[in-house]
Structure 1
């Protein structure tokens, strides 16, 4: 399948940058790369990045970068790529977090890969201040990809697996087939999305799908089929997408996480998306890809 015809979450993975992980511990190479005027540096202030135009981000030379923790993102024929973790005060008017940078990510998938890498590490550094074993302070090493305490305990970046699923019922492909979407208690109406939840220790991914759906909306799930995955460093998740077939249809929302959940036929979904009665997630999200894969095409509106 040609890249333009792939779901957007898959298009974002078509041109991953070369992370050159084997060079992170080569201090001489890292220093030479930092001194090279061809090197480009992305400044991450807190969790915000400076945009450049409507579909890009600003890359600086090392000489123009502020002080901060240096992260080696990788290498390319055009020079190495670093990020610098600066204080939040370094950000100026118009700087954006990752959600605000979605248009830039759609315009350049290699840049999207670099942004995901940089912001994911930035979030980890912000949240990880002390050693979980001894409580001591931490210092970066391996070009910012490890943290080590004075006792020598090493802390690595954390990624939390989470499932995200589109629940369906009815004869597949028929006019009567329906999908289930919910409005989370943290979101305003009329934002609706697929259900999602974090994997618990010792739990298979398919069982997480079944447990989360039962907990959130009271629907019993049978067959579970993998769809795809997407890094989501907001702050540190890997979203694992599934289609889930319902064995019951009565909805009982938990009210703690889900305010409202509704079944939609394809015709229903098209009508409410067009009218604005329901707004679906951004096109960057794997949630949107799940919904449009089931629907069979693009839908209007987003949040």
Structure 2
């Protein structure tokens, strides 16, 4: 697919400067002259629609964990750190629950137009390199927060390699950031495509079917298995289209196109609340916001990317 790398988080040419990670002296010098992006409970610090970079000695960062190294951007070394221990003022509005969080948390030591925003809400407005930076930061910091102890012996591990590895001093095991592969499928049959909704999703929210790849499974086998398990639809040819790092928390969405052999739907209610075939014409009304039953796909998601390019006949 010629447009594959234009998907959000698809890559902005970030120079990751991996050769610097093993040298603590170089990393200390880079941090002293660099910029730091703060994340709070998975939300990214934004300033006027762009990531909010702070100098390493900014008061907001004092006493916070050691930053992880992201690379070089606009002539500067850039880092990210997790300040989730910070508590907003007691009179702040409670955090929304679910997958649509439009709230912004403001830190008293930052300008009034700066705040922590949910990445899903702002991702479509980021430049390609900004999107790559914040996706990398969120995935990496989430991994550190959830993998503080050695999976081999249970001892607390320590961050090394500028944040790209954890090391266990007790047993010597080295741990590396993980990425979970997920297939997401544009399933078509003639002029129709298959969409579904998971239990608990907001009313009217539908998407392409998706699922995790299991051990010992190819991408193609996962595509066929997931679609059949969730909807009962059998598939023929499968082809790769595009991929998207999806840092919620740390997936790689592998977008594929598959041709359905039949259209009969048999739902697995544990996986899907509903599934349906939708024509190009009806999907066009969804994208236009004119369909009363189905809301438009979230901008920036690979599902939106695949469906919009199918509508525009730009998959080849």
- Report the TM-score when normalising by structure 2: 0.84
Residue in structure 2 matching 1:246, options 255, 260, 264: 260
Question: Runs of 5+ in structure 1 lacking a partner?
Answer: 171-176, 299-303
CA separation of 1:126/1:164 partners in 2, compared to 1, >3 Å: closer, same or farther?
A: same
Tell me if 1:98 matches 2:92: no
User: What is the CA-CA distance between 1:11 and the residue it aligns to?
Assistant: 6.0
Tell me the equivalent position of 1:73: 70
Q: Cα RMSD between the aligned structures?
A: 2.1
185 and 11 in structure 1: CA distance in 2 versus 1, 3 angstrom threshold: closer
Unmatched runs of 5 consecutive residues or more in structure 2: 89-104, 107-114
Do the aligned residues in 2 keep the contact of 1:183 with 1:189 (CA within 8 Å)? no
Count of aligned residue pairs for this structure pair: 284
The separation in 2 between residues aligned to 1:146 and 1:276, in whole angstroms, is 48
> What is the match of residue 50 of structure 2?
56
CA distance in 2, matches of 1:69, 1:87: 13
**Match for residue 174 of structure 1?**
none
Q: Deviations over 1:172-193 (max 9, x none)?
A: xxxxx11111011130221010
User: What is aligned with 1:301?
Assistant: none
Deviates more, 1:247-256 or 1:42-51: 42-51
Deviations 1:223-281 (A, max 9, x none): 10111100001001000001111111100110112111111111122234423421132
Counterparts of 1:70 and 1:226, CA distance in 2: 36
Number of the residue aligned with 1:41: 36
Instruction: Give the match for residue 146 of structure 2.
Output: 127
- Change in Cα spacing, 1:246 to 1:112, as seen in structure 2 (3 Å) is same
For the residues of structure 2 that align with 1:82 and 1:271, how far apart are their CA atoms? 42
Report which stretch shifted further, 288-297 or 91-100: 91-100
CA gap of 1:76–1:296, structure 2 versus 1, over 3 A, is closer
Aligned to 1:269: 283
Matches within 5 A, 1:117-266: 117-150=136-169, 151-170=171-190, 177-266=191-280
Instruction: Give a deviation string over 1:126-148, Cα, whole Å, max 9, x none.
Output: 21121111111111000011111
Q: 1:289 aligns with which of 297, 300, 305?
A: 305
Q: Which fold has the larger relative contact order, with Cα–Cα distance below 8 Å and residues 6 or more apart in sequence?
A: 2
Q: Distance in 1 between matches of 2:6 and 2:235?
A: 25
| Cα gap change, 1:248 to 1:88, in 2 (>3 Å) | farther
Q: Is the 8 A contact 2:244 2:254 kept in 1?
A: yes
